[in-house]
Amino acid sequence: MRLRALYAGLALLLAMFAVDALGAAEVRGVRLWRAPDNTRLVFDLSGQVQHSVFTLSAPNRLVIDINGAQLSTKLDQLNFANTPITSIRSAQRTPNDVRVVIDLSSVVTPKSFTLAPNQQYGNRLVVDLFDQDAGAPPSVPVTATAGTPQLPVTPAQPAAKLPSVPGGKRDIVIAIDAGHGGEDPGAIGAKGQHEKDVTLAIAKYLQQQISQEKGFRAELIRTGDYFIPLRKRTEIARKKGADLFVSIHADAAPRPSAFGASVFALSDRGATSETARWLADNENRSDLIGGVGSVSLDDKDRMLAGVLLDLSMTASLSSSLNVGQKVLSNIGRSTPLHKRRVEQAGFMVLKSPDIPSILVETGFISNPGEALKLTSASHQQVLARSITTGVRQFFMQNPPPGTYLAMLRDQGSAVEPPREHRVASGESLATIAQRYQVSLPALRKANGLTRDTVKVGQKLSIPTTALASQE
Ligand SMILES: [Zn+2]
């Protein structure tokens, strides 16, 4: 009898273990992204978990306890280059509790949160390791070891406003924001193309091209494959002293045939409700958008809303519309447009703006043909060139005070030094005339050309009537 009871008890115990074990989520993998000031670890999970994170010193370690989870993967496949991580160890402490220990070469400030499933990923646990000298986000619990010497914090550089052109005139600063990044791939094309890669490639070409324009300097908000919260993006632009914020994206639609580029500025309608909705969101808003949102179409609008809201905090609507229209009409010369006018998402605009901001949807990555173009270097360069031209046209007409372009305008175009252009592949006399805002006959005349054929590498002098001939 007694033995039978014991067996029954044992069986029950085993059954309970089994149930428990089945109920535990699996830790299926871990991914790592390195950003300039932090390292993001993303644990892919089969279900929801509880977790806690704490740091230990001498030697520096970060401990992540994941409760209600079993490890079903090895965590040693990661590349720790340029990160403070030297190794990752893990142990199943109980059948349902995983402990992950991260060995660190320097002190970090951790921040962690979980993300619900989206179309691409399941449940995730995100652990951000902020470098000690990077300035931790405001909401981070203080877990760093007491007595750790603080490295000097790099001062927010107003370097952007420093004169860099002779005569003490500053450059016009264009902040270029490559949409998405890291854990947030953005929209995904039929062949698996990621919007985040397209946006970064175009942003880099755009930076090169704008920086080659005299009187301009371009700064990338995101320089690699990592996610930056939306609020931080506009903050970076402000720190860099941006005169214009250009966010680069690629569209997606359920209908694969949708195509064409579009440019967004803010709407001055519906400000209160949208603002209220977004402001009410908690501090994880950006992370939620970045981590969960932007893959699904509904959430893509939320992503857009978030970007535009942040822009609106400081945006100048009429300037945004003006520069947006110039960018759009230049893009329209090289690629089909989705809408011929600058769109204003039904969001809102701020009342005392200081950085005009536009969002360029460079095409539909969900359209197979357009996705091919968007991933080709030559088309990316053409798109960047169109944006550069539009931006340049806007600032030649509206140069901010104290800039080299403002000086040119004030003194008349006579002071503008003669310009020379070396023909690059894919360029025609017409596109060069357009770029420098000179008429085709004037360009022909300045170079003694009788025909419009030009050769790659050929040097052309650009007539100095540019400012006078602005539309
Ligand atoms: Zn996007």
Average pLDDT over residues 206-224: 96
- For residue 402, pLDDT over 60 is answered with yes
Contact in structure between 364 and 258 (CB atoms under 8 Å):
yes
State how far the Cα of 147 lies from the Cα of 166, in Å rounded to an integer: 47
pLDDT confidence of residue 316: 66
Alpha-carbon radius of gyration of the chain: 27
Distance between Cα 300 and ligand 1 center (Å): 7
Find the 187 Cα to ligand 1 centroid distance in Å.
6
Å from CA of 294 to ligand 1 middle: 7
Is the pLDDT at 159 greater than 60, yes or no? Answer: no
Q: How close is the Cα of 37 to the center of ligand 1, in Å?
A: 23
Ligand 1 centroid from CA 201, angstroms? 14
- Confidence category of residue 347, pLDDT binned at 50, 70, 90: very low
Helix axes 271-280, 297-312, angle to 10 degrees: 100
| Pairing status of strand 216-220 against strand 172-178 | parallel
- Grade residue 339 by pLDDT with cuts at 50, 70 and 90: confident
- pLDDT higher than 50, residue 62: yes
Share of the chain above pLDDT 70, in %: 71
Say how many Å lie between the CA of residue 276 and the centre of ligand 1.
23
CA of 180 to the centre of ligand 1 (A): 6
Distance 202 CA to ligand 1 centre (A): 13
Q: State percent of the chain over pLDDT 90.
A: 30
Q: Which residues contact 270 (CB under 8 A, 6 or more apart)?
A: 346, 347, 348
pLDDT score, position 387: 97
What integer is the mean pLDDT of 119-131? 85
- Is pLDDT above 90 for 153? no
Who's near 145: CB < 8 A, 6+ residues apart?
55, 56, 57, 60, 107
The whole-number average pLDDT for the span 8-17 is: 52
If pLDDT is split at 50, 70 and 90, which confidence band does 6 have? low
The alpha-helical segments, DSSP class H, found in 89-217 are 195-212
Distance, CA 248 to ligand 1 centroid (Å)?
7
Rounded distance from Cα 345 to ligand 1 centre (Å): 14
Q: Is the pLDDT of residue 161 over 50?
A: no
Task: Give pLDDT, residue 343.
Answer: 76
Question: Region 244-257: what's the mean pLDDT?
Answer: 88
Which phi and psi (to 5°) does residue 25 adopt?
A: -80, 150
350 band by pLDDT with thresholds 50, 70 and 90: very low
First to last CA, the chain: 101
Q: Residues 210, 165: contact at Cβ < 8 Å?
A: no
Sign of CA dihedral 64, 82, 176, 154: positive
Tens digits of residue pLDDT in 370-394: 999 999 999 999 999 999 999 999 9
Lowest-confidence segment of 145-149, 255-259, 423-427 by average pLDDT: 145-149
CB-based contact 228:291 (threshold 8 Å) = no
Q: Which residues surround ligand 1, an ion (CB under 5 A)?
A: 179, 186, 249
| CA distances to 24, 94, 274, 440 from 435, in Å | 61, 66, 38, 11
The answer, yes or no, to whether residue 209 has pLDDT greater than 60, is: yes
- The whole-number pLDDT of residue 2 equals 56
CA of 318 to the centre of ligand 1 (A): 23
pLDDT digits (tens, 9 = 90+) for 271-285: 333 332 333 332 223
Model pTM score:
0.64
Report how far ligand 1's centroid is from the alpha carbon of 188 (Å): 10
465 — pLDDT class (breaks 50, 70, 90): low
Q: What is the C-alpha separation between 291 and 200, in angstroms, rounded?
A: 18
Q: In whole angstroms, what is the distance from residue 19 CA to residue 456 CA?
A: 71
Q: What is residue 4's predicted lDDT score, i.e. its pLDDT?
A: 61
Residues recorded for the chain: 471
pLDDT mean across residues, the chain: 76
Burial of 250 (0-12, 13-18, 19+ CB in 10 A): buried
Number of CB atoms found within 10 A of residue 308's CB? 27
Mean pLDDT of 59-88: 90
Q: What does the CA dihedral 441, 445, 450, 451 come to, rounded to 10 degrees?
A: -50
Mean pLDDT of 142-160: 35
Q: How far apart are CA 453 and CA 390, in angstroms?
A: 25
Cβ-contact 421, 462 below 8 angstroms: yes
The count of other CB atoms within 10 Å of the CB of residue 279 is: 10
Backbone torsions φ then ψ of 175, nearest 5 degrees: -90, 125
Sequence-distant (6+) residues with CB within 8 A of 246 are: 174, 175, 176, 177, 206, 327, 357, 358, 359, 360, 387, 391
**With 50 as the cut, is the pLDDT of residue 287 above it?**
no
Helix (H) / strand (E) element for 345: namely: strand 343-345
Residue 201: predicted pLDDT: 98
> Distance between CA 116 and CA 113 in Å, rounded?
10
Strand partners, 218: 174
Q: How far is the CA of 196 from the centre of ligand 1 (A)?
A: 8
Residue 61: pLDDT band with limits 50, 70, 90 = very high
pLDDT at 321 over 60: yes
**Å from CA of 334 to ligand 1 middle:** 21
